[in-house]
Chains A and B, each alone.
Chain A
């Protein structure tokens, strides 16, 4: 553990409790690891298991993980972390105990993850970004389309095989619209207006 974080911080004792319980309750058939800040991370067995863990940590009365900090992924092309292509990472935070836990899940190239946007609204854009950058799709996501790159873009930039200087310029902007699945717009009326 680094000493750049003050040693008497109150959250550190909760972090120890959490790690202990994580190994006891959830670590029987899952791998639990600790990162350089001694924060626990748990490897989910499947995308379904990742969502199960996420929801269990939310209702667990020791963890109280009521805050989604981040959803991201990284390329596991060198198979250092397992034999599947991607690692999906969920960062959870507790606003009462101020501890973090990380859920990791291995995913194959054509494997689908489960969306968390039904649990946390904040997951919506984060999952879209993961899809944009890695090509991981999320089952049940209400609006699974690119977010940072243009909708016509090909390839997924944060995959390791994507060359850094491969640019794809577009001369024009995308057509004016209210998302892929506009909830309340009546497109029929709009078309009628133009005539």
Chain B
């Protein structure tokens, strides 16, 4: 239906190939404080420019100002969808600089936590991506399980979103007795929810039309842009740090690396869905094979004394005071420790010059690389495709801006 145009100037706008559209920084479809400026010709994005920094909180600078122990809470605020993963990756980075090897039970608990965090992160990505494209049922189905996972995390460390669970050399608490049963139930029932989601989306005509061939990142582009994680694997590159540079007890575990082929939104969705299944598999093995034994490494430099000893023995009280007020003395040296985070390679590059504070605390975040490639791969698509694309790569602003 032709609109009745009263002002001829409006028509001029209509045919203008240089209309600038601003997406974000505070818009529900932009998943945080991301801002993309697009130049659209009709409905096609011809040029895009991303602007970041709206959530910049100087976390790297604070890493040089706080002691190693104090900085643990800041790692929660990096990727707040999978805080456990960041806590553990950071603890591992400091342990690597100090040459500490943690106990076996601690390794199993950490792997369990990381996989639980991975499931939560993938739930958020798949559910919100579907919600953005109009499939609300998936959101309700999956968020029930996210809630269940958060309740489990709450029973482990008392906090839900910003966990601060890991400590250098151990964990703040041991896992509760009833976790085994709960986790078992989770591992049994959660894959069924995934089946339901798969029934709703995977062969859904509308979902396929909206996602297949949209937001394509080719294999070559993915490598050139240094993308890691599920988005890289969806583009057909077989790279997973859990298998290729194994840490903790991953070599003993039985799991598959999921690789896609087209690198579009649909493949990224499939990869994440299957990774959730694989993570559930790992959780099951952790639950069955969780060893008994000490949680904390027997190293006086980092071991936080038991509370009962702190209250009854004077030397222990002094030791406790020293750890928390002065901090841990980390020897001179450096290490670049990477783990396979839910969105890709999460790395902590610590340069220590001795003392309780880091000289340089670098966080290599996967979202930074993902958003950079977004700027290039969004060109040629439509505005609704940009929203689908952004949801599928799961950029977390906290990690992007640090």
Q: Using CB atoms and an 8 Å cutoff, list the residues of chain A in contact with chain B.
A: 2-6, 8-9, 11, 35-37, 39, 66-70, 72, 74-75, 78, 80, 89, 91, 95, 98, 100, 102, 120-122, 124-126, 129, 133, 147-150, 157-158, 162, 164, 176-179, 182-186, 189-190, 193
Q: Which B residues touch A162, using CB under 8 A?
A: 61
Contacts of B60 in A (CB 8 A): 133, 158
B49 touching A179, Cβ below 8 Å: yes
B contacts with A: majority SS: mixed
Q: List 26 A-B contacts (CB under 8 A).
A: A2-B95, A2-B100, A4-B92, A4-B95, A6-B249, A11-B244, A11-B245, A35-B335, A66-B223, A67-B226, A74-B359, A74-B360, A78-B353, A80-B353, A91-B347, A120-B226, A121-B376, A125-B369, A126-B368, A147-B53, A149-B53, A149-B56, A164-B58, A164-B65, A185-B18, A185-B39
The verdict on A4 contacting B248 (CB below 8 Å), with A36-B334, A39-B336, A125-B368 known, is yes
B70 is an interface residue with CB less than 8 A from chain A: no
Known contacts A70-B364, A176-B22, A190-B18; is-contact A147 B52 (Cβ 8 Å): yes
A contact residues around B61 at 8 Å (CB): 157-158, 162, 164
- Return the chain A residue nearest B250 by Cβ: A6
Measured between alpha carbons, how far is A120 from B349 in the docked complex, in Å? Answer: 21
User: A35-B336, A157-B61 are contacts. A125–B372 as well, Cβ < 8 Å?
Assistant: yes
* Contact partner, A178, options B47, B100, B227, Cβ 8 Å: B47
As a 0/1 sequence over residues 326 to 366 of chain B, the CB contacts with chain A under 8 angstroms (1 = contact) are 00000001111110000001010101010000011010100
Chain B residues, Cβ within 8 Å of A72 = 349, 360, 362, 364
Q: Interface range on chain B: under 10, 10 to 19, 20 to 34, or 35 or more?
A: 35 or more
A164 touches B62 (CB 8 A): yes
Interface of A is mostly: loop
Partner of A37, one of B56, B249, B336, B369: B336
Chain B 239-254 residues near chain A, CB threshold 8 A: 239, 244-252
**Cα distance A167–B225 when bound, in Å?**
32
Give B residues with C-beta under 8 Å from A: 12-13, 16, 18, 20, 22, 37, 39, 46-49, 52-53, 56, 58, 60-62, 64-65, 92, 95-97, 99-102, 107, 221, 223-227, 237, 239, 244-252, 333-338, 345, 347, 349, 351, 353, 359-360, 362, 364, 368-369, 372-373, 376, 401-402
| Docked complex Cα distance between A9 and B16 (Å) | 58
User: How far is A98 from B244 in the complex, measured between Cα atoms in Å?
Assistant: 6
Please give, as numbers and ranges, the residues of chain B lying within 8 Å of A124 by CB-CB distance.
372
Task: Let me know if B37 and A95 touch, CB within 8 A.
Answer: no
**Chain A residue with Cβ nearest B20:** A176
With beta carbons under 8 angstroms apart, the residue of B100, B248, B364, B401 that contacts A69 is: B364
CB neighbours of B64 from chain A (8 A): 158
Please give the distance in Å from B291's CB to the nearest CB on chain A: 15
A186 to B402, CA, bound (A): 34
